[in-house]
Chain A
Amino acid sequence: MKGIRAWSVAVSVLLLVTVALAGCRQAPRAGAPDVFVIANNIDPMWSWDPADSFGEEIPVLFEMYETLLRYHPLQDKLEPVLAEDWDVTPDGLTWTFRLRSGVKFHCGHAFDATQVKKSIDRTRERGMGAAFIWDAVERIDAPEPQTVVFHLSYPIPVDLTVASAYGAFMYCPKCLEEKGDDHYNNGNACGTGPYKLESWRRGDQVLLTRFDDYWRGWEDNHFDKILVKVVPETGTARQMLEAGEVDHVRLLPFEDIQVLKKNPRFNVAVSPSFQNVYILINSIREPLNDARVRQALSYSIPYADIIKYVMHDYATQSVGPVPAGMWGHDPGLKQYTYDLTRARELLAAAGYPNGGFSLVMTVASGDENHRKVAEMWKGELAKLGIALDIRTMPFDAQWDLAKSPDVKQRQDLYILYYWPDVTSPQAFLEGCFVTQDDYIIFNLSYYSNPLVDDLVYGAWQAAGTDRVRATELYRQAQAILLEDAPAIFVYDMQNVRVLNASVKGFKDNPAYPYVLFVYDLYREGKR
């Protein structure tokens, strides 16, 4: 008996201690860091160097780095960030920006005009990622510590360019001078943004912590840290969200979102986006070099079914390459419909009345939406006698194949998400459809039409000073692209962001896809 008693006492004490400890864990002590946790399906850090960035890393980079201005496309308004105000000469060739004073980099160096000049000059020299946005810049001057002057060789809207989601970050050039030019790409960061890098484990997590000297200052309700965890399985990510372990999941299947939407613990924010989906058609290969065949393909996509059943109505069918809501988009342009009869006529006219050829389509593995589109399309193409060979592969493999020096190796069809660097039609049209012989950016149709080139570059030159003329030139370029059909414009997406309901202050900005600007967020209540 005695033995049993002693045991039960020991067990009770142990239980009590456990309960007490658990209690301690639940009530956070005052001042415990409030961490904003993001579940990301892949390691977002494709590139650490803000000069090279052209991928999925911007949600992390934008917490650490800032641009001179920030664009709010839905209001068509520019917000001063590192620049306070700016003006342009009437010829559109000289832009002067006045910089905010008292701004510091994470390393302690001061931010001034020289750093702006050095960052942009370095980005241009490296020529990686979105460096081409600066092509019109002839020279940058820093006449005073707080004044930067851009001299252009032809007019472009520099105000939009400096607000670009890619290629326009202000980073500390002194750090690179001191620690070597590949300092950033070795997994380091030094910007002026509200959060600085604390640690990074490749393929596992990125941890950012607040930068105490941030120029906007810190009030009480900002998050102290941002943790980006790599959670490849969407099922796991959803369970973590439901268990209150994460605040935001970057990508969830719409089937899960439909369930989460009904739960008041989560906030499903739906807003316009500038992200759209193209299927780029290899326009230099038989039989796809015939525009009629490409048009037939455009008529064979079951647009309505895709939007309803793949996108669960979180998308609309595209009208042309420029997404709805952006300037330069023209709802009056030609829109292809699902029309197999028309497709058959076009194929017959091109000499393929019963199809009789097969096409290779690459799809990034893990992308459910694209795979579903591909599989649905396969069924439609089969009705036209065209065999679709779907090949899923990791994005890098898909990308390398598309740029393979051996043209014969390349795919016939490439399904691509596209979103802008500089928020303008230029990003879409220059990125995907102007002639790119020596250096392919995203023109995976390998399309080349001097008429389109002239219109697109002409529009960009007009954009800084004459928006109406630019819009008209963009419209003409898009009309040609729709007729020539080097790509199928499938759908314009909406941004669907799932957040824990305790997170407040979130406003989606379609110019910066997936960027949350965590500094503006705060928490009310418990996760």
Chain B
Amino acid sequence: MALPANRPRPAVLEQIRYSGYLITKNSLTTVGFGIVLVLLVIALLAPVFVPHPEHAVLGTTNVAEALRPPSGRYLFGTDELGRDLFSRVIYGTRISLQIGTLAVGLALLIGVPLGLVAGYLGGFVDEVIMRVTDIFLSFPPLLLAIAVAALLGRSLTNAMIAIAIAWWPWYTRLMRGTVISLREKPFVEAARMMGTPATRIMVRHVLVNSLSPVIVQASLDFGSVILTSAALSFLGLGAQPPQPEWGLILSTARNYFLVAPWYSFFPGMAMVITVLAFNLVGDGLREITDPKTRRL
């Protein structure tokens, strides 16, 4: 957690304890973190407890048992090819978390350095970088992601790249704003006076201290990114059958909505819960990092 600069830096354990305290202070944030933790565990342990991993990983079909309603044998019922929906939805958690991490990570990787450079150096470099972000931001992000995904070809990896391309300018902007306000702060000036190289100042002093709003934004975006990738898969631009991606499962399930309502329900619920959890976490982080809303 980002702590105000004037507070004495506690030991690592103390820091974790303090973070835990901040998280548990708000019950909604606690719920959010709790769900995310559970999702992580589910994603990691999926192969251990899922009854039919082959239905999820290989997409092995079992047509004789198609569209069975939920039961003790198939907790979430089966899909139109007789595959265990429970296994598929659980494995879908892995894919969704991967997408969230990789797409947001890639967007951060592009966006943050550009914002840092633009904000710190200013002038011509700033102009160029910001005009480029303006161009990207003038497209609705989903539309841009669709266009890029269509251009790159249909696959989950390309969908992630497409999302990152649609998302990075937001981080650049956010980063630049924070960096500009930090640039004139006394500790940065002091570093500059001491003759510290610019790159070192940028990384050691400016970057570290301006990350918290970006982290908050990134955790909020996690949910949107998962939704966007589901939308891309729904449109056939993302995951390809038989990958157990939630958006793809939903786009198939809608064909059987009247015959097998559970088929749409479970992946839909999984998506709702995940996105909600990340939004709660994001909101919580914002409250914690913003001194105005933080009540100790």
**Which of A's residues lie within 8 Å of B, judged by CB?**
233-235, 238-239, 253, 255-256, 259, 305, 308-310, 365, 368, 371-372, 374-376, 378-379, 382, 389-394
Contact = CB atoms under 8 A, between A and B. Distances in A.
A375 B240 CA distance: 11
Contacts of A365: 236
A379 B58 contact: yes
Interface residues of B, number: 24
B213 interface: no
A376 B241 contact: no
A382 B58 contact: yes
Interface of B: 58-61, 63-64, 66-67, 80-82, 154, 236, 240-242, 252, 254-260
A394 B67 CA distance: 26
B137 to A, nearest CB: 28
Contacts of A379: 58-61
Contacts of B63: 305, 308-310, 376
Contacts of A389: 240
Given A378-B242, A392-B240, A368 B81 contact: no
A259 B259 contact: yes
A392 B241 contact: yes
Contacts of A375: 59, 61, 81, 241-242
Nearest to A234: B255
B232 to A, nearest CB: 12
Contact of B258 (A235, A368, A394): A235
Contacts of A368: 80, 252, 255
Q: What DSSP secondary structure best describes chain B's contact surface? A: loop
Contact of A255 (B80, B154, B242): B80
29 contacts: A233-B254, A234-B255, A235-B254, A238-B258, A239-B258, A253-B259, A255-B256, A256-B259, A259-B258, A305-B63, A308-B63, A309-B63, A309-B64, A309-B81, A365-B236, A368-B80, A368-B255, A374-B241, A375-B242, A376-B63, A378-B59, A379-B58, A379-B59, A379-B61, A389-B240, A390-B242, A391-B240, A392-B240, A394-B236
A391 B154 contact: yes
A479 B66 CA distance: 36
A347 B134 CA distance: 56
Which of A308, A374, A379 is most buried by chain B, counting CB atoms within 10 A of its CB? A379
Contacts of A382: 58, 60
Nearest to A372: B81
B288 to A, nearest CB: 43
B88 to A, nearest CB: 12
A256 B80 contact: no
B39 to A, nearest CB: 27
Contacts of A394: 236
A25 B58 CA distance: 55
Given A235-B257, A391-B154, 17 more contacts: A233-B254, A235-B255, A238-B258, A239-B258, A253-B259, A308-B63, A309-B64, A310-B63, A368-B80, A375-B61, A375-B241, A376-B63, A382-B58, A390-B240, A390-B241, A392-B236, A393-B236
A365 B241 CA distance: 11
Nearest to B153: A391
Nearest to A258: B259
Contacts of A234: 255
Contacts of B255: 234-235, 253, 368
Contacts of B66: 309
Contacts of B236: 365, 392-394
Contact of B81 (A233, A239, A308, A376): A376
Given A368-B80, A375-B59, A392 B257 contact: no
B256 A392 contact: no
A368 B236 CA distance: 13
B242 A393 contact: no
